[in-house]
């Protein structure tokens, strides 16, 4: 890849923290194994980090905004500080331009950071994360989990945007060892 990005946005569930479906309980937040080290490496380079996350549990009536904010606060306490948090409460069928794979969240986070979308990278665990990056004109890295579909992994591997873990993702982005 080219020079390191000027900002890195991470998906939340399944990427920064172990995915607990529709988690509204901060006590259930568990960072993934290499999250702290990867974030430290990016921050050490003086590059801001943020979070972009779909939270369709709100649209489904399984969570409320306060629960999402409480979980986000716990993540910030464990892995932060994050320069920007953006999340979308809508469901897949709501037609929201903010919800990944639409570019709205990435564009908004980039603007809040004062960085052009082309100078941003998005790291996530599913095709919606890669799609949001692509739609915004940002770079993408896929870090698969057991929930990632095989065709998503294959497509990322073909594009050279596949990493085994978050540390590998930030290395791929130019934040070397």
Residues recognised as catalytic: 11, 13
How many Cβ atoms sit within 10 Å of the Cβ of residue 151? 9
User: Encoding tokens for residue 8?
Assistant: 């890195």
Q: What 3-state class would DSSP assign to 118? A: helix
Closest CA relative to residue 54, chosen from 99, 24, 16, 15: 99
Crossing angle of helices 127-136 and 104-113, rounded to 10°: 60
Q: Are 50 and 85 in contact (CB under 8 A)?
A: yes
- What is the b/e burial string over 153-177, where b = at least 16 CB atoms within 10 angstroms of the residue's CB? eeebeeeebbbebbbebbbbbebee
């Amino acid at each position: 890849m080219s020079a390191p990005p000027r900002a890195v946005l991470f998906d939340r569930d399944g990427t920064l923290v172990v995915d607990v479906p529709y988690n509204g309980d901060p006590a259930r937040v568990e960072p993934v194994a290499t999250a702290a080290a990867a974030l430290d490496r990016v921050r050490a380079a003086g590059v801001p980090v943020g979070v972009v996350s779909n939270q369709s549990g709100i649209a489904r009536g399984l969570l409320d905004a306060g629960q999402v904010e409480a979980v986000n606060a716990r993540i910030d306490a464990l892995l932060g500080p994050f320069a920007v948090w953006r999340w979308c409460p809508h469901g897949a069928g709501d037609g929201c331009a903010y919800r990944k794979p639409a570019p709205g969240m990435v564009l908004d986070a980039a603007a809040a950071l004062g960085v052009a979308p082309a100078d941003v990278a998005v790291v996530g665990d599913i095709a919606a994360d890669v799609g949001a990056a692509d739609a915004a004109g940002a770079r993408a890295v896929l870090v698969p989990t057991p929930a990632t579909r095989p065709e998503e992994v294959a497509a990322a591997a073909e594009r050279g945007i596949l990493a085994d873990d978050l540390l590998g993702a930030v290395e791929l982005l130019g934040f070397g060892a």
